[in-house]
Amino acid sequence: MKKTLCFGLMAIAIGFGLTSCNNTAKQESESLTISGLDANNFATDSTALYVLTNANGMEVCFTNFGGRIVSIMVPDKDGNMKDVCLGHDNIQDYEKYGAEGCNFGALIGRYGNRIAKGQFSLDGESYQLPINNGPNSLHGGGPIAFHNRIWTANKIDEQNLEFTTTSPDGEDGYPGNIEVKVTYTLTNENALQITYEGTTDKATVLNLTNHCYFNLSGDASTDCLDEILWLDADSITAVDADVAVTGEVLAVEGTPFDFRTPTAVGDRIDDTSSEQIENGKGYDHNWILNTKGDITKPFGTLYDPNTGIVMDMYTDQPGVQFYAGNFLDGSFVGKKGVLYPRRSAFCFESQHYPDSPNHPEWPSTTLRPGEKYLTTTIYKFSTK
């Protein structure tokens, strides 16, 4: 009798233990995304992880710290899911590296790219912005720029996510109280669409973009210079040794900047016979797009010959900053503990031209009361 009772109690205990373990494993698996992210690692009083999925099983993850894209899971040519976006797998690393100016996947504003010496004039008034990149102001300039703030999140449904924020008059030196909304949409055509909206109560400048780092190999432990790039652009805006635009527009014909024929990014990236390559330490320039605001036409295509993943890019903006990860140096700890080496990912930041407020001959970035800032950029994934 005692032996039977003992075995019975042991069976109950073991059963309870197995059930407890199973429940724990189930809870852990339910908190994990397809990319392996744990939502618990993003959960604080003010931050969280947000997940969009589509009918094809594609998944994109975000956090409201900086309105960032955290991961993008797309199928390769064999149907295996690959994460093609650099980032971190916990909120603490985003906060740590964000303070060091790391913009993985972040929304950028008020002004994407550089404003020379952090100065511009508008309607007869002069404005001074924080200096944070050599002698220039980069990506808003200040410590409370858009990539370092907590955005208000509203997940509309499984394929649409809104981030909103306000920026008061004078913040980081910019005029006007502005309201900004950014909507991420994951379509059933495997496209990630980003729509930016903004209004102001005082004349200001606004140039919003996203700083996602793409590596279509899905392996960010090494460079991706063998990826093939096509850009529909006949010219670039020249930069000086501080990577600020000079005002000169240069034809790409006969230079390392000519991607009108698909070319491996690494083929000419170190051709320092080009002063522009020397100044940018590789590619870190604004291409003037031939699409002229027609979002129905792709302005560029990136292709990885190993995974077969293709990313077609569309925008209604006049330019794109192609940055080839020249300043990644292996010091950033990424997802799954990977150290991101130099040129392990590329950015394609749709935009008006850098320093446009100081170049009235270029498309204007001025936004006035009663006007609405509205622009859309699309990254569409497929395989071949």
The region that residue 182 occupies, defined by phi over 0 for left and psi between -120 and 50 for alpha, beta otherwise, is beta
The type of residue at 240 is: D
Half-sphere exposure of 245 (CA within 13 A, CB side): 24
> How far does Cα 38 stand from its chain's mean position?
20
Distance CA 266, CA 256 (A): 10
Cβ(156)–Cβ(164) under 8 Å?
no
Q: Which of 211, 227, 285, 352 is catalytic?
A: 211
Half-sphere exposure of 241 (CA within 13 A, CB side): 0
Q: How many residues does the chain have?
A: 384
Half-sphere exposure of 231 (CA within 13 A, CB side): 27
List the structure tokens of 113.
């790219």
The sign one gets for the Cα dihedral 293, 294, 300, 301 is: positive
Instruction: Count other C-beta atoms under 10 Å from residue 96's C-beta.
Output: 14
Cβ(352)–Cβ(317) under 8 Å?
yes
Please list, in sequence order, all residues whose beta carbon lies within 8 angstroms of the beta carbon of residue 148, skipping any fewer than 6 positions away. 66, 98, 99
Cβ(228)–Cβ(262) under 8 Å?
yes
Distance CA 194, CA 185 (A): 7
Partners of 198 in beta bridges = 180, 373
Is residue 211 among the annotated active site residues?
Answer: yes
Grouping H, G, I as helix, E, B as strand and the rest as coil, residue 223 is coil
| Degrees to nearest 5, angle at CA 212 with 207 and 214 | 140
The sign one gets for the Cα dihedral 325, 277, 147, 143 is: positive
Q: Which of 227, 285, 349, 352 is catalytic?
A: 349
Cβ(214)–Cβ(323) under 8 Å?
no
Is residue 88 among the annotated active site residues?
Answer: no
Cβ(182)–Cβ(170) under 8 Å?
no
Q: Which residues are catalytic, by number?
A: 211, 349
